[in-house]
A and B are shown apart, each in its own frame.
Chain A
Amino acid sequence: MEIRPSTMDEAVAAVKELAAGGTPVRPVGAGSRATWGGRDPDGAVALHTGALDRIVEHNPGDFTAVLQAGVPLAAAQEHFARAGQMLAVDPPTFPGPMPSGPERAGGTIGGLLATADSGPARHRFGGMRDLVIGVEVLLSDGTVARAGGKVIKNVAGYDLSKLYTGSYGTLGLVTEVAVRLHPLPGPTATVLGSSDDPHVLAGAALALAKQPLEALCLDIGWPAEGPGRLLLRFAGRTAADRARRIGLAGLDDVHVEEDDEGLWNAQRAAQRDPDGPVLKVPHKPADLGDVLATARSHGLAAVSRAALGLTWVRGGSREIFPRATVLDGAAGVADPWPPADAGALALMRRVKARMDPARIFRPGTFVGGI
């Protein structure tokens, strides 16, 4: 069963009715991360945000925007780009055919917030949690609540925007998102170097992470076999110049590419696999070499945000990477989530109980069976 509200009133009415019946609900944007967060209970109703697709505000002078949850990310970016601006998140697009149309392969703003998905630009700009400045949410008892606002600096009230970022639709329906925008980065250039030794590659990345380079992205691409490569991307009018001054001692085939969009699309694409599983592995940046070596010993390909300590591994399981979250392919595993601190988990359960009093939003699917 599907529901597709086109106004807030319709959404409120639909959620109230579902709550009255105790019917589980799964918020759906474009469906570009359909398996993430695991299997929903039988009989779960898909609550589509696709008709809530208005760009409510774009304030170019203030570098802010307010978007309804169902706005496709690609459409929003196209709109912002006309003013020389962007929402500084660049998650991968869905790699397979999209039933809702190819233009929605990049997902929606609501889905991006719910999954906290990210791409290489997170190195410079942080994740969605660092860019969201306000939310409007619809709770299971029909309460409509806003938190934050539409200015980039604001400490009034609790920061529910961050609470809802990465909550996977389990705390209610996110209906509107306010974001901070950034100027488009201008010319870019990437310096690359390769090595088949994971520790050499990771060591080079760590050395770069310790310098004040103000790079746009710092990634590792690590295939299942053969040499991997380090990619460091600069943006701005001196990008190529700065890229050429990077030494990368110890790495092979060091060179600069100015036409570098394809390189980074490949990095993004390597975070996704429609057949799954894809594991997101958090680690200390200094442990990157070990993570890559482990992936190699199991014949698995990976990409890393080297300075952040995040690696996406294609294939494998949590037996190999105990702290990993399974993203693509989550519906095919018993539990996509890693274990959490017992006290933190108890607190999360209380948050869930208060925010979703009818317990209809994806019950049982989140961390620890929340």
Chain B
Amino acid sequence: MVQPMRPFNVPDDALVDRLRAVVGPDQVLTHPHQLRTYESDGLLQYRQVPAVAVLPGTGAQVQAVVAACAEAGVPWVARGAGSGLSGGALPRGDGVLIVLSRLTRVLEVDLDNGRVCVEPGVTNAAVSAAVAPHYFYPPDPSSQVVCSIGGNVAENSGGAHCFKYGFTTNYVTGLELVLADGEVVTLGGPEPDPAGYDLIGAFVGSEGTLGIATRIWLRVVPVPETVRTLVAFFDSTAQAGQASSDIVHAGVVPAAIEMMDAVTIRAVEEMAHAGYPVGRGAALLVELDGAERECAAQFEEVVAICAAAGSDDVRVGRDDAERALFWRTRKAAFPAMGRVSPNYFVQDGVIPRTRLAEVMGRIEALSQEYGLIVANVFHAGDGNLHPLVCYDGRVEGQAERAEELSGAILAVCLDAGGSITGEHGVGVDKLKYMPKMFGEGDLEAFQRLRCAFDPVGLANPGKVMPTPRLCGEVPGPYKRHPLEIAGLAERF
């Protein structure tokens, strides 16, 4: 049963005054010029200026801001660095934007126990820096220099190395949360396996709809003894895909396997000048790390597998500088696409790795059908595709066609048994695809989790869940009605 949302209250002067009292007058923004900074996150297609933006400086201030919104019945959106790619931090015109970029304290570094505790505004790279040189924090989204840990927790961020190391959710051991009613709860901490439901697991990846994390305990791990990287070139993505499968099948768990197609190789070479052979069908970057001896043994095997799968051009990184060049070239893929096309949509679908050749074929066919270039760059190990659907926004109707093509690509991913998003999140961008991936019962269960955390629905409403709806009362213990017992009535 879908009940429509009741309208929210709009921030009024009283709320703004109260927010100013909490965080100080300079940290509450109401002027349109100031607010424009926050009108979108990393996904620029969606823009909305918030009614108010507030920049708390401590966890206690976050709590007071959320409590004020709760009392006023005003919805809010939390924002970290604003680098998200699904519109998850898109503000609401009728709501408060809670900007967490001032909460940048590293609260504790405890290397004896392999833990750090940080505030949500600390950047991903700063966590690794805080535990360097002997430890690091493995999840490494491409935006790691700017993106915040709070945002990583909200999105369950991955990165190029998650095939071996896992995602944010595998590293969070504790959270201090501010719930939408202003309550503060602590889940877990530095120790493993807190008793009770794994609410940390439920919270990570909830895209700001279940509350705001104000303290985050993370596991960090020792820096591997050695790292080895190669780039192999192939005639086709099918060949490179076969090589990735063969590598994994040989029992090797690479730290990263990244693939680029012909369009992408051309674009990155023009930008990065790495000496990549323009015209080749696919480039496969493979990185192994770990214990020196095991790594050396496996690396030889990977080189042999690439050759056997059809690569006549395998380049092994000779030193840190060359390894860095390989990675710089890979990470240039998104910015370099600006040379191919004035605009592009990035998709984030996932497929089972074995369906790669077939799915690439279908994407190629769709690309021709729509008359739009699709460049492919992806995390080949875990089947996370990042098709870049190129278009020219100045040509009327092309943006719409590109969006339709993006949707068709996601449908292909779902058809292959995959997912609509591997690491960017649903946000607002993929709301309309949620019912294609999940059925009514699935969405109902999601809604119940959301209602347990936020029964009024003030936390980032309009994200993740495709159909906003009311929570309804918490059901009490079920009692049969006397009429039912008497057989005079039935429940439907």
- Point out residues on A near B: beta carbons under 8 Å: 19-22, 59, 61-64, 84, 116, 126, 129-130, 137, 139, 143-147, 149-163, 165-167, 171, 182-184, 186, 206, 209-214, 236-238, 241-242, 280, 282-286, 307-310, 323, 325, 337-338, 340-341, 343-348, 350-355, 357-360, 366-368, 370
Contacts and interface: CB of A to CB of B under 8 A. Distances in A.
B244 to A, nearest CB: 11
B194 interface: yes
Contact of A165 (B170, B184, B198, B294): B198
A214 B224 contact: yes
Given A340-B196, A354-B474, A184 B451 contact: no
Interface string B174-201: 0000010001111100111111111111
A212 B197 CA distance: 31
Given A153-B423, A357-B478, A166 B352 contact: no
A206 B235 CA distance: 48
Contact of B201 (A63, A129, A182, A346): A129
B168 to A, nearest CB: 10
Interface string B210-236: 000000000001111100000000000
Q: What are the 3 closest A-B residue pairs judged by CB atoms, nearest first?
A: A162-B201, A343-B185, A145-B445
A282 B452 contact: no
Interface stretch (B3-11, B320-328, B366-374, B436-444): B436-444
Interface in B408-424: 417-424
5 contacts: A147-B445, A159-B156, A160-B446, A162-B200, A360-B478
Contacts, number: 277
Given A155-B421, A366-B196, 7 more contacts: A20-B480, A155-B424, A214-B291, A284-B190, A284-B191, A347-B179, A355-B449
A44 to B, nearest CB: 15
Contact of B192 (A137, A206, A309, A368): A309
Contacts of A351: 197, 199, 202, 449, 452
Contacts of B479: 22
B284 to A, nearest CB: 17
B290 interface: yes
A283 B112 CA distance: 13
Interface string B343-378: 000000011111000000000000000000000000
Nearest to B484: A20
Nearest to B223: A212
Nearest to B450: A158
B452 A354 contact: yes
B222 A211 contact: yes
Nearest to B221: A212
B192 A214 contact: no
B137 to A, nearest CB: 14
Contacts of B198: 116, 129, 162-163, 165-167
Given A186-B251, A354-B449, A367-B195, A145 B444 contact: yes
Given A284-B190, A347-B179, A61 B199 contact: no
Nearest to B478: A358
A154 B478 CA distance: 36
A237 B297 contact: yes
Interface in B297-352: 297, 350-352
A285 B379 contact: no
